[in-house]
Chains A and B, each alone.
Chain A
């Protein structure tokens, strides 16, 4: 469980995180989404007590991170921009961190096997590929069998198999009742991994809702209609609250504000032929870009 209240961070006169309120609940994967530079990593550093907030506060499992006396048992973190000494092997990296909590060698070896680094565990981490580095980061995060996981862009650099593996891992960890807080700048990734979404842009909260709700709001019910009598149909469906856009493709209309059933009925009642009648789900990616673009525009207006 992570709770942020009025969380704010300034670097010099630049506000990186502005008055964030959010809760990351146990049992679900909470996606933390925003374009690059929107303050995701800063927020995660604030959660972990690596940076001190300028205002507000954030607690993990009811306490400030710094007040935890056995933090690896509470929170596991995979930090963006590898946090591994390049000259040390994966094995000794994990062992050194484990030893701060009296966690033994067996656990270290268990996790190396779990993340599939067995063959390279004795090699210098500096030689690791991005994907291997991410796996080492996951092993680091899981060392203390924590209730809460914080992962900054964990799928970055992973091959499709690795992405699939992380997705399953995060979902099974959430199913065990853990709170999972995972950041990404890729909406498509979050759409399949997360249950809940927190979206930020320029350090400010833009959206905090379930993925389901996000999809529903985002899809905005656009219906794609293809008909040899498109022009007549366009005139018939027109009305208050309904917009009809004529597609580049001849005979194709994009109708919003009217359910597909209703369009079909109108066509039938007027004896029009339909070749296609499809409910188009605006992709989450589009919805996300729209959300963050609004924020950017808002920002440049205030700056002007």
Chain B
């Protein structure tokens, strides 16, 4: 450190803040955090590892299973079993993408650089959505092929991507994880607090659904398809009964919830003090 008067090297004007530039910035922010890498590795391991374990357990116990038990097993349920757990890793990361900035004060630096603020929210959603989809798509495909390979050794529960609905379900698993992450990000932006954001996410997806059991069955059947959890899961479920939405219908309802949360987050982001 020199004690002489330091001089700041001049910089030529580099132009305005653009949405594209904010996206590049958000990509830097995302990949430069260790927590991001851990969460994403966890999501990948869970997405592929759990189906592999389930396939192996199912295969070794197959000879002891009753016919009705065997009929209950479906290869796609096994292939997409990991989605149920990896969604937690994706969801927590989605919340952290925004609440991590509030917790550390980084958000003030971000909004000082991008005072219109909304480009930051759009960029976070775009970068996190694209990154999680690009990582989850190969993961669910790997989960499908790995679990099928294990089951194939035992000549049971075989299916293929060309079977009706299978490719859609597998890709749907990755789409669901991406949308779940965006949902979490929007909740984080509304709540602005890591613990609060995760709690809200868990409440909406994992606490409220079982609570519906207090209602009469006819009510449950009417309400259940429309709650975020069920609507979202319709995207990757292979079979759709009378009490669940079609994949496209489920996706539309899930997207509507997300659009509502993102819109609310956007309004609050612009209005609130930081």
Q: How far is the CA of A89 from the CA of B33 in the complex (A)?
A: 8
Q: How far is the CA of A45 from the CA of B107 in the complex (A)?
A: 12
Are A96 and B3 CB-contacts (below 8 A) given A71-B115, A101-B15, A101-B17? Answer: no
- A127 interfacial contact with B, CB 8 Å: no
Contacts of B8 in A (CB 8 A): 114, 142, 145, 169, 173
Q: How far is the CA of A70 from the CA of B7 in the complex (A)?
A: 22
Q: 1/0 per position for A249-282, CB-CB distance to B under 8 A?
A: 0000000000000000000000000000000000
Contacts of B18 in A (CB 8 A): 102
Asked if residues A140 and B109 are in contact (CB atoms below 8 Å), the reply is: yes
- A6 interfacial contact with B, CB 8 Å: no
Partner of B25, one of A73, A79, A97: A97
Asked if residues A84 and B13 are in contact (CB atoms below 8 Å), the reply is: no
Contacts of A100 in B (CB 8 A): 17, 21-22, 25, 113-114
Contacts of A99 in B (CB 8 A): 21, 24-25, 28
Asked if residues A87 and B113 are in contact (CB atoms below 8 Å), the reply is: no
- B61 interfacial contact with A, CB 8 Å: no
Give the contact stretch, choosing among B98-106, B138-146, B207-215: B98-106
Asked if residues B28 and A96 are in contact (CB atoms below 8 Å), the reply is: yes
Q: 1/0 per position for A144-175, CB-CB distance to B under 8 A?
A: 11000000000000000110110011011100
Contacts of B22 in A (CB 8 A): 100
Task: List which B207-264 residues lie within 8 A (CB) of chain A.
Answer: none
Asked if residues A101 and B21 are in contact (CB atoms below 8 Å), the reply is: yes
Asked if residues A85 and B104 are in contact (CB atoms below 8 Å), the reply is: yes
- A48 interfacial contact with B, CB 8 Å: yes
Asked if residues A85 and B33 are in contact (CB atoms below 8 Å), the reply is: yes
- A231 interfacial contact with B, CB 8 Å: no
Asked if residues A85 and B101 are in contact (CB atoms below 8 Å), the reply is: yes
Q: How far is the CA of A138 from the CA of B113 in the complex (A)?
A: 15
Q: 1/0 per position for B77-113, CB-CB distance to A under 8 A?
A: 0000000000000000000000011001111111111
Asked if residues A70 and B13 are in contact (CB atoms below 8 Å), the reply is: yes
Q: How far is the CA of A187 from the CA of B15 in the complex (A)?
A: 39
- B67 interfacial contact with A, CB 8 Å: no
| CB-based nearest B residue for A86 | B104
Are A161 and B3 CB-contacts (below 8 A) given A70-B16, A145-B8? Answer: yes
- A56 interfacial contact with B, CB 8 Å: no
- A217 interfacial contact with B, CB 8 Å: no
Contacts of A104 in B (CB 8 A): 14
- A242 interfacial contact with B, CB 8 Å: no
Q: How far is the CA of A45 from the CA of B8 in the complex (A)?
A: 25
- B64 interfacial contact with A, CB 8 Å: no
Asked if residues A84 and B104 are in contact (CB atoms below 8 Å), the reply is: yes
CB distance from B168 to the nearest CB of A (A): 37
Q: How far is the CA of A69 from the CA of B113 in the complex (A)?
A: 9
Contacts of B100 in A (CB 8 A): 85, 87
Asked if residues B1 and A50 are in contact (CB atoms below 8 Å), the reply is: no
- B164 interfacial contact with A, CB 8 Å: no
Contacts of A88 in B (CB 8 A): 29, 32-33, 106
Q: 1/0 per position for B1-43, CB-CB distance to A under 8 A?
A: 1111111111101111110011011101100111100000000
CB distance from A261 to the nearest CB of B (A): 39
Are A82 and B105 CB-contacts (below 8 A) given A88-B33, A95-B28, A116-B1? Answer: yes
- A49 interfacial contact with B, CB 8 Å: yes
- A299 interfacial contact with B, CB 8 Å: no
Q: 1/0 per position for A55-94, CB-CB distance to B under 8 A?
A: 0000000000111111111010101011111111100110
Contacts of B108 in A (CB 8 A): 45, 48, 50, 79, 83
Q: 1/0 per position for A17-60, CB-CB distance to B under 8 A?
A: 00000000000000000000000000001001111100000000
| CB-based nearest B residue for A162 | B1
Residue from the set A75, A99, A165 with the largest chain B CB neighbour count within 10 Å: A99
Contacts of B13 in A (CB 8 A): 70, 73
| CB-based nearest A residue for B29 | A96
Asked if residues B21 and A171 are in contact (CB atoms below 8 Å), the reply is: no
CB distance from A58 to the nearest CB of B (A): 13
Q: How far is the CA of A72 from the CA of B1 in the complex (A)?
A: 25
- B274 interfacial contact with A, CB 8 Å: yes
CB distance from A221 to the nearest CB of B (A): 35
Q: 1/0 per position for B186-218, CB-CB distance to A under 8 A?
A: 000000000000000000000000000000000
- A103 interfacial contact with B, CB 8 Å: yes
- A212 interfacial contact with B, CB 8 Å: no
Are A51 and B115 CB-contacts (below 8 A) given A114-B9, A142-B8? Answer: no
| CB-based nearest B residue for A126 | B104
- B72 interfacial contact with A, CB 8 Å: no
Q: How far is the CA of A84 from the CA of B73 in the complex (A)?
A: 50
CB distance from B23 to the nearest CB of A (A): 9
23 A-B interface contacts by CB (under 8 A): A48-B108, A49-B115, A50-B274, A51-B274, A52-B273, A70-B13, A71-B17, A72-B112, A79-B105, A82-B105, A83-B105, A83-B106, A83-B108, A96-B25, A97-B25, A101-B14, A103-B14, A104-B14, A107-B9, A145-B8, A145-B9, A165-B2, A165-B6
| Extra contacts besides A70-B16, A85-B106, A93-B106 (13): CB < 8 Å | A48-B115, A50-B112, A67-B115, A70-B15, A71-B112, A73-B11, A83-B105, A87-B104, A97-B25, A101-B14, A107-B9, A140-B109, A165-B6
